[in-house]
Each structure stands twice: as structure tokens, then as C-alpha cells.
A and B are shown apart, each in its own frame.
Chain A
Amino acid sequence: SCSSWLPQRVPLQGSHWQSSLLELRTSLPVRAQPKKKKKVDVKKEQAQKERMKKKLKKLEKAAPELIPIEDFITPLKYSESNRVRSLPALSPEESERRVLLLKKWCLFKQKQDEAEKKAIKALVESQQEALKELRLESEELYEAAIRRDEGLFPFEREGPSYTPPLPGYDPPEGKCIDITKVYTQ
């Protein structure tokens, strides 16, 4: 059952004056209508179309702009203020301790990086060896293995968390509103 206020989509029956569904306002020329109206209408329509085309051209000429990224714009309040922090002077023991700590950190990071490089090398080598063996086994399987994996992308993964989720936690009700600034050109 359709409500009465819905616009009627069914073509009006009996109105053979109506030329098509789209142009509901125009109809077949009635004999009593003067001819001037038709010409002026057509001219007006043409002029309107021209104006729209010109506007479109002008808008299309302007190159699209990238949305400015707020991360890279320092807010003004940090550059205007005159507050300058004066750090306390470091004792020689403290500075010595810091330098030694820095060196230890450098060494630790270097070991970590080297371990990573070694891991990559080992992975690549073992992969190459496996492919070589596969090639000796069967050429077809080797070809299939070399091909790119379509199921690999898209790949999504959440980062690890410090703690697992609490069991039986009842979160309060709430909602999230997106207040990102919308830039228009």
C-alpha cells in the first residue's frame, strides 16, 4: 500500500499532450500558444547551457589541491609565547652517565640491526634453496611458486597490545563523533 503523498511514477494516462515523462512542463504545441515563447525559451535554455559549460571549464581548469595535513602545521600558540625553559646545569657525573648510557644504547641498537640483517639473509637463502630443490623436483610447481600471490594483498594486521583485554569488562555506553575539518576547493 503506497501512501498518497508519494510522487506518481506511473505515466499519466489520457494526457496525450505530454511528450515524455522527463519534460513534464513542456507539452505538444497547443494551437493557441504564440510562437515567440518557444524561441525565447530555446534561446534562454541555450544561453543557460553555455553559461554552465563556461563555469565547468573554469572549475576544471583549476588544478585539484591536496588536503593540508594538520600534523605538519605548528599551532600558533607554540610560536607566539615568550616562555623559554632554562634547563638546570648538569653535574659531570650525570653527563658522564648519560654519555655511557648513549653508548650502550648505540651498541644495543647495532646488535638489533645486525640480527635483523642476518635474519633477512637467512630467510632469503633458505627460500632460494627451497626453490632450487623444487625446480629439480618439478618445473610446473616451480613456475607456480614463482608467480605472484594475489591473495597476499590486501593485508591487515593490528599492532600488539601491552595487555590482553580484561575478561568480563563492561564498557560504559557512548559514541564517537567525527569532527575532522572538511576542506573544499
Chain B
Amino acid sequence: DAFLSFQRSYRSRPTHGIGKFKYLLPKEVPKKRKEKVQMKEISAGTEYQFGDVNIQMTSYDLCLVEHFAQYVHRLCNRLSIRVNESYAMPTKTNEVLFMEERGSKMQLDAVLTTHQRVVQIRGLSSTFAPILLEIIQSSQPEGVHLLMKQHTEADFKSRLKSRPELEELLAEMS
């Protein structure tokens, strides 16, 4: 009987764990597979609930917009609103040139960087939406432009790199 049974190690006996050896080998790091960037399903929402809503905050000031995004995220957590994603859109850089008073040359004034953060929420109930809007508006800092809109595929596509070769080939094929 003892020969047929497997691993009958009594935990109180000194022979418990006899035969184990994997704990002695060095730990194998699992191979990191590159996750494919796929678009998650956009929910349209029901009659009493909004689907995916994007809260986009834009500003020239990075720290301000970052902190405001964190605040909005925490607020949604506290009010048990499901937050799908909280990401940053690519930064836009603008060169501002102005014409000198006496002269025809354009002079460089400043280089401005526009930062944008997006908090995506789902399942916002229709009665609570105006309240949330009111709270966010009351705590909106200076210089931060707020935009709330439904999430669309075009919004997701704007985050991806452009593929001119693919587009060229597709244009040629059709």
C-alpha cells in the first residue's frame, strides 16, 4: 500500500517535504510578452446610464494638470464610479513668434508645451452626472481646460502612431 500511494507526507513528521527540490533552484523570471495594443470595447450605455465618457484636461502647466487628473481619479474612486483608464495624451509643442514693433522679422517669444490627461469612466448614472460635473467644475484650477465627451474609436486612434506605408498601400489597393 505504501508503495502505491503518492506523497503521503504527514506534516508533523520530520519527513514532511522530503523530495522537494524546486525551492533550491534559482527563480525563473517569466518571459515578458509584448501586449498588443488593442482597442477595448466601447460601451454605448443604457437609457439611464452613460457609456464610456472621457474627461480630458488640457493645460500648459504639467504639474497642475497631472494633479488635477489625480484628484478627479480619486474622486471617481471615492464615489464608486468605475474608471476604465487614466492615461496621458501625447504632448504638443508650439512655438510662439511675434512681430517686432520696429522691424519686419518675427521674433521667437516662447516655446509652449500643451499637456493633456484623460480619465475614462463608465456607468455614470444620468441623475448623478450633473452633480459630478458641478463638483469637478468647482475645483477646476486656473488655466486648465476641461472637456467631457463620449469615447469614440477616433479618440483611441489618435493615440496610435500613424502608419503612412500601410495607408499608402491601402489607397493603392482600393
List the A side residues contacting B96 at CB < 8 Å. 174-176
Question: How far is it, in angstroms, between the C-alpha of A68 and the C-alpha of B53 when the chains are bound?
Answer: 23
For residue B97, which residues in chain A have a CB less than 8 angstroms away from its CB?
A: 174-177
A131 with B173, Cβ < 8 A, contacts A155-B147, A156-B146 known: no
Min CB gap B85→A, angstroms: 12
A178 to B114, CA, bound (A): 11
In the complex, are the beta carbons of B140 and A66 less than 8 A apart?
Answer: no
CB within 8 Å for A52 and B91 given contacts A159-B144, A161-B142? no
Asked if B95 contacts A183 (CB within 8 A), the reply is no
Interface size on B, residues (CB 8 A): 65
| Chain B interface mostly | mixed
Known: A123-B131, A148-B48, A152-B129. A60 touches B143 (CB 8 A): no
Q: Does B122 contact A (CB under 8 A)?
A: no
The count of residues in chain A whose C-beta lies closer than 8 Å to any C-beta of chain B is 52
Tell whether, in the assembled complex, residue A159 and residue B149 are in contact, meaning their CB atoms are under 8 Å apart.
no
Give the docked Cα–Cα distance between A70 and B88 (Å): 10
- In the complex, A10 has a CB within 8 A of chain B: no
Q: Across the interface, do B140 and A159 meet the contact criterion of CB distance under 8 Å?
A: yes
A70 and B90: CB pair below 8 A? Answer: yes
Contact A179 B141 (CB under 8 A): no
Binds A, one of B2-10, B19-27, B162-170: B162-170
Indicate if A56 sits at the interface (CB-CB under 8 A): yes
A67 close to chain B: CB less than 8 A: yes
Which residues of chain B from 93 to 125 have a CB within 8 Å of any chain A CB? 93-101, 106, 109, 111, 115
**Chain A interface (Cβ within 8 Å of chain B)?**
52-53, 55-56, 59-60, 63-72, 116, 119-120, 123-124, 127, 131, 146-149, 152-162, 172-185
**Given contact pairs A123-B131, A124-B128, A127-B131, a sample of 6 additional A-B residue pairs in the complex whose CB atoms are under 8 Å apart:** A64-B160, A69-B90, A146-B127, A174-B96, A175-B106, A179-B111
**Chain B interface (Cβ < 8 Å from any Cβ of A):** 34, 36-38, 45, 47-50, 53, 59, 62, 79, 88-101, 106, 109, 111, 115, 126-131, 133-135, 137, 139-150, 159-166, 169-170, 172-173
* 3 closest Cβ pairs, A-B complex: A174-B98, A148-B126, A154-B149
